[in-house]
Structure 1
């Protein structure tokens, strides 16, 4: 059981982690591949105080090093859902489960537009986790929709399991096995009746029984049902508290402007307030 789970390894999430550790709280930071972070891809930053002329990758590496030095634990993976039960939040991370007393959402901007057929066939052929569900499709045709930097590795894993994989993405993948066919398509459509029967990718129809949609992270509203949004962003107050008690949000997912300085500042507030929340519920029990 962690005091605080931080979802997202960008400026907001790592700032929250550092502040929570300064208050003596145990912290788990869950994030995907760093290459998916928007900051990582920025060639030069000139408006972050004290660090002008630095690349986004260098700045992000410094943030991660600081959080690690502060004692925050990091776990690479995708949080698939968050389940509040009493004073505890259960986080499903791939096939693993972690627990925390409070949560900070720092997912960045996650586009929630679903593919045609995605919602209708969720649990009936549509999956978000190769590790969790791959064995169910051993010996079967599956399609991987790659929207994350590590998606080719996940596709390779499915192929090694014995699945017959076709990789679909809007750009050519790196490090994909040569025996996995690649189809370029910007917005595929999932086909089926009672369950998935295929994937339409541009002019190509791929027969398959499973579709693995591998995004860098889940949209906040899909992670935590009941989370209030405002104009597509998570609604927060000045304490970065969301509509769900014990859940805080910071950074790009909490609204404009989408800037590193704003994310770091909001992360500080979210980390401090999450620590205070943990103290409050701990004192109530005591």
Structure 2
């Protein structure tokens, strides 16, 4: 497909704002995250646009669900994610354990490795993360992608992971020791969480599973994932009031995303390539410029 350099330039300029925010890379990493070391190519942007508006690729979910403030809380989470020894639990060395005794041994290893973790503590000693994909995704592939994610993003920390495939959405629970091997503490910010979603999506795509990690603002989605307590409350039949994001910052992000989509659609419409014109039609036909029906909370 031959296109005008000016059209490609517009796609890269506005596509970067949608799919690759400037704050995405917040720490040096030898692992390449984009097809080019500095900027995504126009072809890459077209692929991201097509996946978002034409194919409606499923959006990955990476969510921090809490964290243990002492070894007692960490051990309780271990028991929960491995169903008290019934499910296989894998650590950062790739060692797989099963059974109550093996789980207890792992708890004691965490207690004394690095700084001693007391039974109860005022500060968070572990971070609980859940990585999920929609129903129908192969569970073992999700596990492989989670394994690649952890090795990339959590390589300086001790962690364990357990696959849950008995529910509708296959997902992996990760428990990460907050203190790294060199003594630094894990305290993820919003930019880190977005990078984590991108990394998980890249791992899935590398395994042949179509997945996207487009920000909600970029898809002009007018809601955020609900906190775990809200989800559990609804499951228990308790009434909760839905809270929609109304902050000026969130609304500004939406307006900027709509502007970017408008610029992209105009550029695609002006292209002589039939593929671009077809892609422009998908952008224009997408409600609110890309509300992904496969997204979930």
Same fold (TM over 0.5): no
Structure 1 length as normaliser, TM-score? 0.23
Structure ID, larger Rg = 2
Higher share in strand: 1
